[in-house]
């Protein structure tokens, strides 16, 4: 179970890392990145940074490589921006939730349009 304090830390890290990636990281592989959420371990030694991007699988892989290469820089900048006893090790991971949500939405729209077609045919 996560404490209120841990949720605040996760939000703080998400905001700060988002700013660093958006403004400071100059790697050409990293563009149109959104930091969607952060999950820190209970001991706060590790933070998993979830991100999403516009683009396909190649862009996702290139972005992940760029973020991994920029991790030491991001962590150093993060230490200058936030007041935490320990800056966690950062692990970047692609957030598939947005992709999944879009897929579910597409399926629901398909079902809805099929129902309308059935009603018009039967009606």
**Domains (range + CATH), the chain:** 4-96 (3.30.300.20)
Length of the chain: 123
Nearest to 21 by CA among 66, 56, 86: 66
120 pLDDT more than 80: no
98 pLDDT more than 80: no
- Percentage of the chain surpassing pLDDT 70? 92
pTM of the model: 0.78
Q: At what angle do helices 4-19 and 57-81 cross, to 10 degrees?
A: 110
pLDDT at 1: 44
pLDDT tens for 26-85 read 999 998 899 999 999 999 999 999 999 988 889 999 999 999 999 999 999 999 999 888
């Amino acid at each position: 179970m996560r404490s209120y304090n841990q949720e605040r830390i996760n939000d703080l890290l998400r905001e700060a890392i988002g700013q660093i990636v958006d403004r400071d990281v100059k790697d050409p592989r990293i563009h149109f990145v959104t930091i969607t959420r952060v999950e820190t371990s209970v001991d706060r030694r590790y933070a998993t940074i979830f991100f999403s991007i516009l683009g396909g699988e190649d862009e996702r892989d290139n972005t992940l490589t760029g973020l991994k290469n920029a991790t030491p820089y991001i962590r150093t900048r993060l230490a200058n921006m936030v007041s935490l006893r320990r800056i966690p090790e950062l692990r970047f991971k692609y957030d598939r939730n947005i992709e999944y949500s879009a897929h579910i939405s597409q399926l629901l729209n398909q079902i809805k349009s099929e129902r309308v077609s059935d009603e018009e045919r039967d009606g």
